[in-house]
Structure 1
């Protein structure tokens, strides 16, 4: 893609040089020729042809951000699950029981 852009800019540069060195041409005309026939159209072409690459880069950045967010959330869930896990006796943690009420059990 860039080879075509470079070739076209070379052709337009030669057109501008011919405009500037012609007996009834001007340097201002050469500058306008280079800008309007060269830089402006090639800037638009490069922008349009570069759109798929920009979209891929955007999707890759969003996927990386989502993966980092998911890893952070998994780490937070793992830490929260470890702190509120029931004890080995299969009883609820003390924080889950209302304060001041004793547990009621059957008499043996």
Structure 2
């Protein structure tokens, strides 16, 4: 990718030099030539060709964040289980309903009983 950008920069620089040194050319024309034929297309090309590497970097960053989050959750669950074991020595399971208490809300996906209208 960089070889293409370097080669195109050289070509457009030579076009700008030719524009500036020709009898009918101007420095302003050379600058416009370099910007419109050189910098603008090179910027678009670098952006398009850099998309896969940007996507890989984003996925790697998200995977690292997910791993850190999972580790924090695992560590938090272990700390909670240890605190529960210390607070309630008779309860050995870290499951939520191990203390034989009714759940606060119905289970997800459970069918709710609905009475038929007479």
TM-score (structure 2 length as normaliser): 0.73
1:5 equivalent to 2:8? Answer no
Looking at structure 1, the residues matched to 36 and 71 of structure 2 have their Cα atoms a distance apart, in angstroms, of 51
Higher normalized helix content (fraction of residues): 1
Where does the alignment leave 5 or more consecutive residues of structure 2 unmatched?
93-98, 100-118
Looking at structure 2, the residues matched to 38 and 76 of structure 1 have their Cα atoms a distance apart, in angstroms, of 55
Deviations 1:65-102 (A, max 9, x none): 01001101111100110121253xxx349xx6xxxxxx
TM-score (structure 1 length as normaliser): 0.80
The residue number in structure 1 matching 2:78 is 78
**What value does the CA root-mean-square deviation take over the aligned residues?**
1.7
Matched pairs, number: 92
Looking at structure 2, the residues matched to 92 and 53 of structure 1 have their Cα atoms a distance apart, in angstroms, of 51
- Cα 1:21–1:36 shift into 2, 3 Å: same
Structure with higher Rg: it is 1
The residue number in structure 2 matching 1:37 is 37
Where does the alignment leave 5 or more consecutive residues of structure 1 unmatched?
97-108
Question: Is the partner of 2:25 in helix, strand or coil?
Answer: coil
Stretches of 4+ aligned residues off by more than 2 angstroms: none
The residue number in structure 2 matching 1:99 is none
